[in-house]
Amino acid sequence: MYDKGMLFGSHISAAGGVEKVPERAYTVGCEVFQFFSRSPQGGPAPKLTTDIIQTFKQNCKKCNQVESYIHAPYYINFASPKNTVRYTSSTIIRQELERGSVLGVKYVMTHLGSSRDVGEKQGVQYVVDGLQRILEGYGGSTQFLIEIAAGAGQILGDSFEEIAEMIGMADVDINEKKQIETSLYYLDKKLTELENHKNEIRLLEEDLEELKKKLLKRLKQLKNNK
Report how far apart, in Å, the C-alpha atoms of 160 and of each of 27, 66, 74, 126, 204 are: 34, 26, 21, 18, 11
Q: Is residue 95 part of a domain?
A: yes
Give the structural domain span for 129.
72-171
Residue 68: per-residue pLDDT: 97
In a domain, 147, yes or no: yes
Burial class (CB in 10 A: 0-12, 13-18, 19+), 88: middle
| Phi, psi for residue 143 in degrees, rounded to 5 | -95, 155
Burial class (CB in 10 A: 0-12, 13-18, 19+), 137: exposed
Residue 1: the pLDDT is: 40
Which tens digit of pLDDT belongs to each residue from 175-193?
Answer: 556 656 666 666 666 666 6
**Domain annotation covers residue 10:** no
The whole-model pTM stands at: 0.73
Residue 155 inside a domain? The answer is: yes
Whether residue 65 is contained in a domain is answered as no
CA 108 to chain centre: 5
Residues of the chain with pLDDT under 50: 1-2, 174
- 7 sits in which H/E element: none
Instruction: Please report the pLDDT score of residue 168 as a whole number.
Output: 84
Output the domain CATH number for residue 160: 3.20.20.150
Q: Tally the domains of the chain.
A: 1
SS3 129: helix
- The DSSP letter of residue 211 is H
Contact 31, 65 (CB under 8 A): yes
The answer to whether position 107 is within a domain reads yes
Return d(Cα 61, Cα 215) in angstroms, integer: 35
